[in-house]
Amino acid sequence: MSEGENEIAVHIGDVVKVYGSGDSAHTALHGINLDIRHNEFFTLLGPSGCGKTTLLRMIAGFESVTEGEISLYGQNLATSPPNRRPVNTVFQQYALFPHMTVAKNVAFGLKMKGHGEAETRARVDEMLRLVQLDRFAERRPSQLSGGQQQRVALARALAPSPKLLLLDEPLSALDLKLRQAMRLELKQIQRDAGITFIFVTHDQEEALTMSDRIAVMSEGALQQVGDSRDIYEAPVNRFVADFIGETNLPEVVIERYEGDHAVCRLGDGSELHCSVSEGAAAAGERGHLSIRPERLSFTAAGEEGSIRCVIDRTIYVGTDTQYAVHLGDGSELVVRVQNEAGEELPWSAGDEVGLRLATGAARLLSD
C-alpha cells in the first residue's frame, strides 16, 4: 500500500485502557476513536492525568490495550512488541549516551539494526544535516545546549526511518525562549522528514502553533478534534473553551433559537446573538457562552448596541492591556485591547464605558 497524504497512518478504534481489576480498577481511556493521517503533525493535548501519555505509550507498545485496536498503515499492532514496531519515541529526557559523540549517538540505532558502516555513516550525515548539527558531529552531549541535545535525540529517533515518530513533551525541559524557537524548528523537521509525528503536550500554545490537527483530551476521553482555528474559534464545550487560550464564560439564559444561531440574555438583561455548539441546552434553559477577550472592545457608555460596564482594573502586558470589567449585575469579564506605540491607555479603573462584541464573538457551549 502506498503512503499518500490522505492515507490513514494510525487508526485507533474503540480503545480502552483499564489498570487493575475489581473494585480497584481504574479506566484511564474510555473508547478512544482517532484516525491520524500520513505525514500529519498530530497533537494530543490536555492536562496532567488526562490519558494522552497513556495513549502514546500504547501506540509505542509500552502499554497493552485492554479493549479495541491500534493499527499502523492497516497493520494491527496488538501482537507486535515495541522493538518490532516501525515506531520511535522521543521522551522528555533525551537519554543521550554521554560517552559517545553526537555522530555515534545518532548511529546507535542503525548499528543495533545491523546496518553496514558506509550506510550508517551516510544516514548519520543526512540526519545531522536535517537537524542542522553536521558541524557538531564530533562533540559530546555535554558540549551542547539543551536545544542542540534535543535535536540530536530527534536525529537519533529519525535515523532508522520509522514510519511514525512519537514525542512525549520533548520541549518541557527547555526555557521559554528556546522552547518557542524549537517549535518552529520541530515543525520544519517534521515537514522535511516527511513522516507522521504524534506530539504530546499540556501546553496549548505549543499545540496551536505546530499542529496540523489537535485532539483535546480530558479524564481519558476525547473532547474535540480539529485544526488550531477550529479548536480556538469553535470550542464544543466549556472544558475546551476554558483550556484553549483565555476566555470569558458568562452564564446566560437561552431566549430562543434562530436557525443555527441563538439569542441569549446576560445577567444584566443584554441580549447577544451567538453561534451554537452541538449539544447546547434548549431554549428557556441556562447555558454558558465563550467570548474571547480580544473579541471585545470599548466604546462610549450608552452607545447604541453596546453593553454598559465599569472598568475595575487594568493590567499592562506589553503587546496589549487587559481590562477587568463588571456588568450591571456584577458579573465579570476580561477585555484585551492591543496597545499602540507611544499612546497613553485611553481607559482606567473606575471608567464607565460601553462594551462591543465583534461579529461571531459569542459561542453558546454544551456543558
pLDDT tens string 19-29 = 998 888 999 99
184: alpha, beta or left, given left = phi > 0 and alpha = psi -120 to 50? Answer: alpha
How do beta strands 164-168 and 87-90 pair?
A: parallel
Q: Report the pLDDT value the prediction gives residue 4, as an integer from 0 to 100.
A: 61
> Rounded to the nearest 10 degrees, how much is the dihedral formed by the CA atoms of 171, 175, 180, 186?
-30
Radius of gyration of the chain (CA): 25
Higher-pLDDT residue of 188 and 253 is 253
Residues 79/72, Cβ–Cβ less than 8 Å: no
The residue among 106, 107, 66, 60 whose CA lies nearest residue 85 is 60
Q: Mean pLDDT throughout 252-269?
A: 95
Res 2 pLDDT > 60: no
Higher-pLDDT residue of 140 and 347 is 140
Q: Give the percent of the chain with pLDDT over 70.
A: 98
* Residue 279, H or E segment: none
pLDDT (tens digit, 9 = 90+) per residue, 177-223?
878 888 888 898 899 889 999 999 999 999 999 999 999 999 999 99
DSSP single-letter state for residue 345: P
N-terminal to C-terminal alpha carbon distance within the chain: 42
How do beta strands 286-291 and 251-258 pair?
A: antiparallel
Res 342 pLDDT > 80: no
Q: Mean pLDDT throughout 230-234?
A: 95
Q: Report the pLDDT value the prediction gives residue 334, as an integer from 0 to 100.
A: 97
**Unique residue bearing C-alpha cell 463588571:** 326
Higher-pLDDT residue of 346 and 218 is 218
Tell me which of 75-79, 165-169, 226-230, 345-349 is least confident: 345-349
Q: Report the pLDDT value the prediction gives residue 1, as an integer from 0 to 100.
A: 39
Contacts of 280 (CB under 8 A, 6+ apart): 254, 262, 287, 364, 365, 366
Band the pLDDT of 5: cuts 50, 70, 90: low
The residue among 236, 234, 176 whose CA lies nearest residue 206 is 176
**DSSP string for 287-334:** EEEEE-GGGEEEE-TT-TT-EEEEEEEEEE-SSEEEEEEEETTS-EEE
Residues 215/208, Cβ–Cβ less than 8 Å: no
The residue among 110, 141, 147 whose CA lies nearest residue 127 is 110
Angle between helices 146-158 and 117-130 (to 10 degrees): 130
Q: Mean pLDDT throughout 254-280?
A: 94
Q: Give the percent of the chain with pLDDT over 90.
A: 74
How do beta strands 352-357 and 307-316 pair?
A: antiparallel
Q: Mean pLDDT throughout 28-56?
A: 96
Res 3 pLDDT > 60: no
* Residue 148, H or E segment: helix 146-158
Mean predicted lDDT score pLDDT of the chain: 92
Model's pTM, two decimal places? 0.90
pLDDT (tens digit, 9 = 90+) per residue, 273-321?
999 999 999 999 999 999 999 999 999 988 988 999 999 999 998 889 9
